[in-house]
Chains A and B, each alone.
Chain A
Amino acid sequence: MPPVVLQMACIAGLLGLAVLAIILSRSKAATAVVYGATLALSAIALTGAIRWLLGDTTKPGDLVLPIGLPWLGAHFRLDALAGFFLVVVNLGGAAASLYGLGYGRHDHAPYRVLPFFPAFLAGMNLVVLADDAFSYLLCWEFMSLASWALVMAHHREAGNARAGYVYLVMASFGTLALLLAFGLLAGPAGDYGFAAIRATQHTPYTATLVLILMLLGAGSKAGLVPLHVWLPLAHPAAPSHVSALMSGVMTKVAIYGFIRVIFDLLGQPGWPASAVVLFLGGITAAMGILYAMMERDLKRLLAYSTIENVGIIFTSLGLAMAFQANGQKLAAALAFTAALFHVLNHSFFKSLLFFGAGAVLTATGERDMDRLGGLIHRMPLTSFVVLVGCVAISALPPFNGFVSEWLIFQAVLQSPELPQWALKIMVPAIGALLALAAALAAACFVKAYGVAFLGRPRSVAAETAGEVDRFSLAAMFILAALCLLAGILPGLVIDALSPVAMQILGSRMPIQVNEPWLSIVPIAESRSSYNGLLVMVFITISASLAVYFIHRFASHALRRGPAWGCGFSDPTPAAQYSGGSFAQPIRRVFGTLAFHARDHVEMPAPGDIRPARLRIELHDLIWEGMYEPIAAAVGLSSEKLNRLQFLTIRRYLSLVFATLVTLLLVLAIWS
């Protein structure tokens, strides 16, 4: 079977499964059947996509189905880029299905989730495979709607309805932008096939408009600041395995859309475009992680961290655009490969962390970090894999997050070679923003892990928590193992990504497998190289030695005594160092600028027995400064226009008459 047919067969299976799920949904076996089947189908599709990516990708597989518009049909195409994103989608899909086998059993209304889950997976697969604008937009909307239905699965919980509403508005807006972008790309000839769009020479004016529209359309789905507002509302509202898919995979599908249109269809948009992408990416990375730092809801924190990672990926894509515009093929391939590598990595560890958050939610029913704590004793296995995820997302060696961010910084270090002074100055500044974001991410996940898993339980729920089921654990352990594997064998991943870079940019990074000791050497040995395996061996040996020496030479006598209180001498767990306490120094430094943060201390008067209180005031400046005025303007104008509903017949006629006369006047004056 040709690979593209195999993929389409899997998608058809998923769509069929969605229908089956509706029929089955009220039965007890439905959860096991549906997630089992999605697991099998995703695994088949994943194997097919990996085999395709590792094989000969120079001859893309095409498929035209006689559905959709009658004279157009639906075109699908499997090339290297699509193959890579199919790997990301189906890996995430398989992991989420495996996790769902266990997690789904706790769902009190599975019939709200089961039909849409396979449909959502099918939609993401279809977007990646679509090869004409019509199918692309249709599949994109299908994906959005399926994910919206999943966000609304628990619609009675507080805030979920609003999240669904905001998501729907932003998704419609994004699709409108995409629609206009494809309309511009197709041009007056109106051929909506991607092959025809690719062959057309686009004017700089069109290219600029398409870039702006794609940043609006794909950027709003991916979560670029300031279009990110729906993301921290909608992603946490969905069930956790769906949150993992939305954060880990759907944002990647949006990034795929951006790469497909800007790099593949549009050709070369020129260096000023890259500056825009770089700037937006840098701002997104820094703002995303600052938001995450202020958050105390575990899943919202993860959603904000997704925004940060999307910013990192966009920065890297911007670098690739800058290098490509100046004909620096090798550096462009480096930046592009780094972006793809981070896409893959983020799908690993963000899915893993959302699964962990879901496990905590299952075990305790809590998402608020300040009501958790001490889970490492009650959920040791979950705590271990979540720790792996936290280390990976904080970009610490020997895990995968470090490798991709290291590659991105290697690309940043190539910036002095750029001829434009604007870029020469801008790229290191953006690099500094990225470094700041990386450091803040580490702090953020130290906070998340420390507050939720360490210390003493802050609530009864956290105290009585138990380990989760083995399906959930299996999914998390597989992802953790993948994080480690991609971290210690990055050369293999880079080589697997090279056909994609070859297809999109016409160049690739040097072959890495032949380097001694599985090192990776992005540019030249003399400049820089990294060896994940050696780092891991070193970490293992030094840690083992340290443990050995401590146990061998330290005193074995058990002592009990009044410890230094560290502000924790009060016996109630509520007095522990909390998430808010941890974030306080960073709030002091950045909060005034980014959030207009204020701390109010309410001191009772002497003799008053009321406790003193510390109140923190935070403002979401983007929401208040951008979205609220827009909403107010829409509300005001609709209130004014509402009067038009209640006019007399004669006034309606007058309106028609006035319109007619105005149009005629316009014609008379301008013709």
Chain B
Amino acid sequence: MQMHSLAFDVSHTLAGGLVLISFMMLYQDRLYSLLNVFALHAVVLSLSVAWQAFVQDAPHLYITAIIALVFKAIVIPVALHRIVKQLGIHRDIEAAVGIGPTMLAGMALVALSMVLMLRVTADADPLAREDLAFALSVVLLGLLVMVTRRNAVSQVVGFMSLENGLVLAATGAKGMPLVVEISVAFSILIAFIVIGIFLFRIRERFDSVDVSALDDFRGERR
């Protein structure tokens, strides 16, 4: 009983930490710091997944944790750092919505996902309930990052933090087969590659990764 309560507390802390780091992403206005925060996000995710592996006695989740740690916390942030440096991208992020309103919206989203998930999953395992509620918050915050930033790199980061939320949800529920996690990890990697190429293309053509250049190219006005 004591052990169960400890397991609950630790995973609760880690998932809550993930939400907190998502909030940290919302107010970063420098690209490097955003990437660092994302790396931290991935570290906490891998910790959370590892803890789930320990609690659920499911060794295959360790693999997921390692995948998260290696790819998301190390490879992708390093690669993005290199891209930003090589391409000489402007390192400040132009926000479409101010920091204050974004934070308020983030809080509202967390509240929404709490209310919704706790009500919908009333008779599920409490551990899975909390986990799902946090995971939904992380997903929504990731979307919010994508929506409120004009910079392509930060949109990529928002997308990947969204995927982190999905992994959190997948590992929180007992008995998810490994195949799913690997596919999730790979989908992120592929998305990263595609978007990386996409960035190069934008850079080549427009000398900027600000997506408004695309709009100018299409003859749009904002």
A: residues with CB less than 8 A from B are 646, 648-650, 653-654, 656-657, 660-661, 664-665, 667-668, 671
| Chain B contact residues: helix, strand, loop or mixed | helix
Q: What is the CA–CA distance of A6 and B218 in the complex, to the nearest angstrom? A: 63
| Chain A contact residues: helix, strand, loop or mixed | helix
Listed by A's residue number, 24 A-B pairs whose Cβ atoms lie within 8 Å are: A646-B220, A648-B211, A648-B212, A649-B211, A649-B214, A650-B96, A650-B147, A650-B149, A650-B150, A650-B211, A653-B146, A653-B147, A653-B155, A657-B146, A660-B140, A661-B140, A664-B113, A664-B116, A667-B116, A668-B115, A668-B119, A671-B116, A671-B119, A671-B120
Q: What is the CA–CA distance of A650 and B144 in the complex, to the nearest angstrom? A: 11
Which of B119, B143, B150 counts the most A-chain CB atoms under 10 A from its CB?
A: B143
Chain B residues within an 8 Å CB radius of A664: 112-113, 116
Flag whether B4 is at the interface (Cβ < 8 A).
Answer: no
Q: What is the CA–CA distance of A665 and B109 in the complex, to the nearest angstrom? A: 10
Chain A residues within an 8 Å CB radius of B116: 664, 667-668, 671
CB-CB nearest in chain A for B144: A657
Q: What is the CA–CA distance of A166 and B45 in the complex, to the nearest angstrom? A: 59
Given contacts A657-B143, A661-B140, A671-B116, 7 further A-B contacts (CB under 8 A): A648-B212, A648-B214, A649-B155, A653-B146, A661-B109, A664-B112, A671-B119
B 111-155 to A, binary, CB cutoff 8 A, 1 in contact else 0: 011011001100000000000000000001001101101100001
Q: What is the CA–CA distance of A668 and B121 in the complex, to the nearest angstrom? A: 12
Flag whether B215 is at the interface (Cβ < 8 A).
Answer: yes
CB distance from A657 to the nearest CB of B (A): 5
CB distance from B82 to the nearest CB of A (A): 24
B 30-41 to A, binary, CB cutoff 8 A, 1 in contact else 0: 000000000000
Chain B residues within an 8 Å CB radius of A650: 96, 146-147, 149-150, 155, 211
Which of A664, A665, A667 counts the most B-chain CB atoms under 10 A from its CB?
A: A664
CB distance from B13 to the nearest CB of A (A): 25
CB distance from B126 to the nearest CB of A (A): 19
Chain A residues within an 8 Å CB radius of B149: 650
CB distance from B23 to the nearest CB of A (A): 17
CB distance from A476 to the nearest CB of B (A): 64
Q: What is the CA–CA distance of A648 and B218 in the complex, to the nearest angstrom? A: 10
Chain B residues within an 8 Å CB radius of A657: 143-144, 146-147
Q: Within the complex, which residue of A648, A661, A671 is in contact with B112, where a contact is CB–CB below 8 Å?
A: A661
Q: What is the CA–CA distance of A664 and B110 in the complex, to the nearest angstrom? A: 12
CB distance from A398 to the nearest CB of B (A): 76
- Whether A667 lies near B147 (C-beta < 8 A) is no
- Whether A648 lies near B144 (C-beta < 8 A) is no
Chain A residues within an 8 Å CB radius of B96: 650
Chain B residues within an 8 Å CB radius of A653: 143, 146-147, 155
Chain B residues within an 8 Å CB radius of A667: 116, 120
Chain A residues within an 8 Å CB radius of B155: 649-650, 653
CB-CB nearest in chain A for B116: A668
Q: What is the CA–CA distance of A476 and B11 in the complex, to the nearest angstrom? A: 89
CB distance from B173 to the nearest CB of A (A): 19
Q: What is the CA–CA distance of A505 and B155 in the complex, to the nearest angstrom? A: 69
